[in-house]
Structure 1
Amino acid sequence: MDVITVIASFIVILFALIYLDDKLGQLVFRNRRKNVVYPQRRSDLSLFVNGNHLFSDYFAELGRARDHIHILFYIIKNDEMTAPFFQLLKKKAAEGVKVRVLVDWVGGLGLPRALVRSLAKSGVEFAYARPPCFPFLIYRLNRRNHRKITIIDGRVGYIGGFNIGREYSGKDANFGEWRDYHIKMSGEGVCDLQKQFLHDWEEATGRTVPDNSRYFPALPAGAVRHQLIATDGSALEEQYIEAIRRAKKEIMIGSPYFIPSRPLFHELMKALERGVRVTVLVPLKADHLFVREAAYPYFARLLEAGAHVYRFYQGFYHAKALIIDDEWCDIGTANFDRRSLFFNSEINCYVFDRAFTHLVKQAFKRDLTRSEPLTLAFLERRSLLDRGKQSISQLISAWL
C-alpha cells in the first residue's frame, strides 16, 4: 500500500469517526437540551451599537454595584481592554460584592492560568462553561455556551452580541470598527436574565446559588414589552420560522454568518413569493474560514427571487437582529446560522414594541448606508478558487 493510499484511508476514517461522534452525540443529548421561554415582561431598554459607548456605560454600572455582579461571556480576551475590567472586578470583590464570572471554555482559551488564580485569590468566583470531555468529544466541542449576559445587583442587565476584548471596542486594525447590537435592561426582565445566569452557573460548576431576594429584588415594570428566550440547540429554528410567517411587509436580518437550515431558508423564499421585502446585512470581511463562501448559494437564490443583500464594509458587522415589519424585533446572541440553531446555547430578547423596533430599524438602516449591495454579477464572476472554497464550505456547513 503506497503512502498516498495510507493518507487517504486515514483521512476517510478520521472524517467517518468525526461524523459518527457528532451524530451519536446529537442522539444522546437530544432529550437533555433545555429551552426556556420566559414570560412576557415590561422593562426599560436601551440599545448600544458601538463598543466604546457600551463599555463606558457597562464599566460605570459595574463600579456602582453594591451586592453582586454576575457575568457570562462567550469570549473574554486577555488584553489592554480587559485588564481594567479584571481590576474592577477584583476591586468590587474586595469591597464585599459577590462577583461570579462564567466564560465559555473555547472563548476563554486565551486567559492565562495566573490571571484566573489572581481572580480567585481576590475573591472573584470564576468558571469555564462546557469544557470538552469524552464521550462524544467532537459533539461537545461544538456545543458552546454562546450567551452574553450581565446582571448587576439584580436590577440592571445586559444582553446582546458584544463580547469583551480590544476588537469589540474597534481597536483591532484587522477588523476596524466593530458593529454590534446590545441591550441594557432595567425592570421586570432582569429577573429572567438572572435565572438564566444561575442555571448556567450551576451547570458549569455544580454549585447551586440560593434563590433568594438578594438576587431577585422587587422590580418595577418598564415601558417596553418583551420576552427572553433561552435556546439550547433546538427550538430556535421553529421560532424564527413562525416570526417570518407573520411578516406582512418587510423582513430585515442582520448577522455575521448566514447559513440557515433548509426549512428556515424555504420560509424566507415563501415570504418573497408573497411580496414581503427581504433585506439581509452581513459583513464584507470574514472572521472565520469558509463562513462567507457558505452563504453565497443562499444569497444567489435570494437575489434571484428579489431580495436585497448588503455587505458592511466599514469595519466588521457582528450584530444579530431580526426585524419583522414595524411591530417586532429580536436582539440577542444567536446568529442566523446552523451552529446557533442546532448546537449553541443562546439567549434572545423578542421585543413587542413599535418605538423600540423603530429604533433598531433605524440603526439597521444606518448600517446599510455603510454597506455595498451584493449582486448576481459579482457572484457569477468569482474565481475558481472562490468557487472551490464554496464547494468545501457546503460540505462542512453544519459545523460552521
Structure 2
Amino acid sequence: MGWILIAIIAGLILWVYADFMLGRKKHLASAKTNSLPIRESNLAIFAEGPTLFDDLFSELKKAKQHIHILFYIVQDDKISQEFLSILKERVNAGVEVRLMVDWVGSGLKRKTIKSLKAAGVEFAYSQMPKLPFLFYSSQVRNHRKITVIDGKIAYLGGYNIGEEYNNHDPKLSPWRDYHLKMTGEGVRDLQSEFLEDWHAAAKVNLLQNKAYFPALPKGKIRQQLVPTEGVLLEEMMSDLISNAKTSIFIGTPYFIPSKRVFNLLREAVHRGISVTVLVPLVSDHALVKEASYPYLRTLIKDGVEVYQFLKGFYHSKVLLVDDEVCDIGTANFDKRSMYLNYELNCLIYDVDFIKKIKRILAEDILNSRQAALDDFTHSPLKEKAASTISYFL
C-alpha cells in the first residue's frame, strides 16, 4: 500500500514538472514582446488608496462613450460594490463598459458577475487555466491593472479594487502603493494593451475600431509603456541596473529576484553604485518574506541599505536609477513577475516628475527602519520551504 502511494506521488510530481516545462516552452514561443515607443503624456501619481479611488470613481462617472477596465483583483466588498454600481450606472447612460479580471485573483462572486452581465456590463475572465498544460496555465496570472476612459484618460499601477486597498484592513492598513493617471498620447498604448488582453480573454477583436482611439495631444512627460508576459521584464530590469552610474532605488513588496538580476545588482554595488532597497515589515502572503531573506542578507553584507516599511503595508513597485529613469507599474521585483505573470510597467524619463516620485520615496523611508542582518536570520525551516517554491510565490 505504501509503495502505491509513493508511486502516485511520484507520478504527480512528474506530471507537474512535465506540464510546467512544456507549457512554458510553448508560452515563450508565442509570447508577445512588443517594443512600444517613447510617448509624451501627462502623468499624476497616487500613493494612497482613498485619494486614488476618489479620483478614479469621479472620472468613471463622467465617462461618455466607453470604459475599459482590467484588474488582477476586484473583491466583493463595500468599495467594490460602489465601483461596480458606477459601471452599471454608466451602462444605463449609454456607455460601453468592459470589465476583465484575472481568473485566480478576482474575488467576485457568481451572483455579482451575473448581475453585472444582466445590467449590460461586458465581463471576461483573463488567463483561465486550459489544457493541455493545466498546471502551467494556472500559474500564469494577468497581474496588469488598466483603466481607460473614453480613450482619453487612463490609469495603471499597483492598486486593485477592495477594502484592503482603501485602508480598511486591520493588519495591512494603511496600504501604500503607487498608481499613475495618464492623459495624452500614451493612453493609446494602454487602450491597445487592454484590447489585446480582451481579444485573448473574450475572443472579440476590437483593435481595429477607430472609435476607441481618438486623436490625442502630446503631453509634457516622456514615458514608455512596457508590457511583459513571462519574458522581457528580466531583460528590462537587467538593462536598467547594468546602466546605472550612481544610484539604484528598489521598492517592492516581494524581493525574490532572478539569479541574473541579483548578480547584476551585486555587481553594481561592487562598482560603487549606491543601492537602497525598501520592503514591507509585515507580509500579506505566506513565505514571501522568508524567500527574500537570503537575498537581503547578502545585500546587507555587500553594503546595501535595506529598509523595512513600518506604517502599514508596502505594496509599491518602483525602480529608480540615477534620478534619470523611473519604472513604476504592476511588476514586483520577484521571479513570478519576471517569469510567469502578464505585467505592465511605465518607464518615466522626466526629471521634474521624478522629483515628485523622490519626495514620495523620501517620505516612505522616513516611515521605515533600516534593517540589520538579525532581521533576516530566523525561521530556517520556513526559509528553506520558501526557497524551494520561490518561483511560484
Q: Same fold (TM over 0.5)?
A: yes
Aligned pair 1:87/2:80, yes or no?
Answer: no
Partner of 1:398: 391
Equivalent positions of 1:249-328 (< 5 A) are 249-328=246-325
Partner of 1:43: 41
Partner of 1:239: 236
Question: What SS does structure 1 have at the residue aligned with 2:181?
Answer: strand
Aligned pair 1:169/2:162, yes or no?
Answer: no
Distance in 2 between the 1:102 and 1:258 partners? 28
C-alpha deviation, 1:212, in angstroms: 3.3
C-alpha deviation, 1:12, in angstroms: 3.7
Q: Percent identity?
A: 47
Question: What SS does structure 1 have at the residue aligned with 2:77?
Answer: coil
Equivalent positions of 1:188-207 (< 5 A) are 188-207=185-204
C-alpha deviation, 1:9, in angstroms: 4.7
Partner of 1:20: 18
Q: Report the residue type matching 1:62 in the other structure.
A: L
**Quick one: which of 344, 348, 361 aligns to 1:347?**
344
Partner of 1:69: 67
Structure 1, gaps ≥5 residues long: none
Distance in 1 between the 2:229 and 2:223 partners? 20
RMSD over equivalenced CA pairs, Å: 1.2
Q: Report the residue type matching 2:347 in the other structure.
A: Y
**Quick one: which of 89, 94, 97 aligns to 1:96?**
94
Question: What SS does structure 2 have at the residue aligned with 1:183?
Answer: strand
Partner of 2:32: 34
C-alpha deviation, 1:336, in angstroms: 0.4
C-alpha deviation, 1:8, in angstroms: 4.8
C-alpha deviation, 1:16, in angstroms: 2.8
Distance in 2 between the 1:354 and 1:75 partners? 32
Q: Does the CA contact (< 8 Å) of 2:113 and 2:123 recur in 1?
A: yes
Higher mean C-alpha displacement, 24-33 vs 14-23: 14-23
C-alpha deviation, 1:134, in angstroms: 1.6
C-alpha deviation, 1:304, in angstroms: 0.5
C-alpha deviation, 1:362, in angstroms: 1.6
Q: Report the residue type matching 2:237 in the other structure.
A: Y
Aligned pair 1:185/2:168, yes or no?
Answer: no
TM-score (norm 1): 0.96
**Quick one: which of 103, 119, 122 aligns to 2:119?**
122
Q: What per-residue deviation string (whole Å, max 9, x for no partner) do you get for residues 111-158 of structure 1?
A: 122211111111110110011122111100111111000000010000
C-alpha deviation, 1:92, in angstroms: 0.2
TM-score (norm 2): 0.98
C-alpha deviation, 1:210, in angstroms: 5.3
Higher mean C-alpha displacement, 202-211 vs 263-272: 202-211
Aligned pair 1:227/2:224, yes or no?
Answer: yes
Q: Report the residue type matching 1:318 in the other structure.
A: H
Question: What SS does structure 2 have at the residue aligned with 1:336?
Answer: coil
C-alpha deviation, 1:32, in angstroms: 1.1
Higher mean C-alpha displacement, 282-291 vs 96-105: 282-291
Q: Does the CA contact (< 8 Å) of 2:196 and 2:207 recur in 1?
A: no
C-alpha deviation, 1:70, in angstroms: 0.4
Distance in 1 between the 2:90 and 2:130 partners? 34
Structure 2, gaps ≥5 residues long: none
Q: Report the residue type matching 1:373 in the other structure.
A: Q
C-alpha deviation, 1:199, in angstroms: 0.4
Partner of 2:148: 151
Distance in 2 between the 1:210 and 1:393 partners? 41
Q: Does the CA contact (< 8 Å) of 2:129 and 2:137 recur in 1?
A: yes
